[in-house]
Structure 1
């Protein structure tokens, strides 16, 4: 029998009867057309070939349950559907990869910030230990408790000038000992 001369309807009928030669004729008749559509949709030869292969595999596996009235339309619609699903999955996968990369960068940045802050806090603590006790206490009250010079002077029985002197002296020492943490930003 010459399968090339059979109509699409006859080929589908033979296909439903598990006729492999009818399947091969459908494959030969439509492969190039379907490849062209898939390639136009995906833009890559490999993906287009894979999608056409998947379509023909599905056609063979579902040959007895598929209802095919117009073979050409059925195959064209199927390849467009497969191509669209492929493109959607690629977009979803790209968005997911972007999310993972962004999340990893954000975690890395946060970790770096925490490490830097921890290092700086330890350096400040060490620098504060090198100061006289009174200067250290005045500085903590001023900078960590946000108390005014006048309030600190009253609490410690000092003049405001003495409090300012201690703050100036402490800032100079801290600036010198914390040079490594200074940025121009």
Structure 2
């Protein structure tokens, strides 16, 4: 991928840039990057107040856009980019909330008074991670694939829809189904991981 765009692409409409991008147009990609990089970064930075994370989310979005250029079904470029960025911001905030909830749980745990804090935290996190991995493996194959793409790899619903060749409503159905099943599988850990499940509210 090249970092500079040809002057010719600067006059292209978003629709024309998408057409050029689908035929491996590196110049078109560079123009899209130059056109939308800063507005997307500004959005992420305003919401997260973290420059490094905002930059990472922008780079992740454009890396995905380039990787999917040949199969992209994007119709409206600006709407897609800002929607995808909002999904990434929301996912990042959810991960942050899960971490904060877990840290609070560890701090408030009565057992900590008698056990070395670092050791207990490490053991609790290991137990939680093991339980989550085991529970995810119990999900039906398609639901498991979609859950992993959404929660572990942080793809958006529209992106997952393209990858698994299902409608966005079907993707949302599988996510909802996965979350309901995991609530049952992880009943003992629900207090710790509850923020993970607050997705469709």
Does TM, normalized by the shorter one, top 0.5? yes
Matched, 1:108 2:112: yes
1:42 is aligned to 48
The match for 1:7 is 13
Q: Which residue of 1 aligns with 2:33?
A: 27
Q: When the two structures are superposed, what TM-score results if normalisation uses the length of structure 1? A: 0.56
* CA contact 2:47–2:89 (8 Å) conserved in 1: yes
Alignment of 1:17-96 (within 5 A): 17-96=23-102
Stretches of structure 1 lacking an aligned partner (at least 5 in a row): 113-185
Take 2:58 and 2:75, find their aligned partners in 1: how far apart are those partners? 20
Distance 2:115 2:58 in 1: 47
Task: For residues 123-169 of structure 1, give each alpha carbon's deviation from its aligned partner in whole angstroms, at most 9, with x where no partner exists.
Answer: xxxxxxxxxxxxxxxxxxxxxxxxxxxxxxxxxxxxxxxxxxxxxxx
Task: Flag the structure with more relative contact order, 1 or 2, with Cα contacts below 8 A and sequence separation at least 6.
Answer: 2
The Cα shift of 1:63 comes to: 1.2
Secondary structure of 1:18's counterpart equals: coil
Offset, 1:108: 3.5
CA distance in 2, matches of 1:14, 1:64: 10
Q: Structure 1 stretches (4+) deviating beyond 6 angstroms?
A: none
Give the direction of change, closer, same or farther, for the CA distance of 1:71–1:107 in structure 2 (3 Å limit).
Answer: same
Output the TM-score relative to the length of structure 2: 0.51
Report the CA distance between 1:43 and its aligned residue: 1.2
Instruction: Extract unaligned runs of 5+ from structure 2.
Output: 1-5, 117-201
Residue in 2 that maps onto 1:167: none
Matched residue count = 110
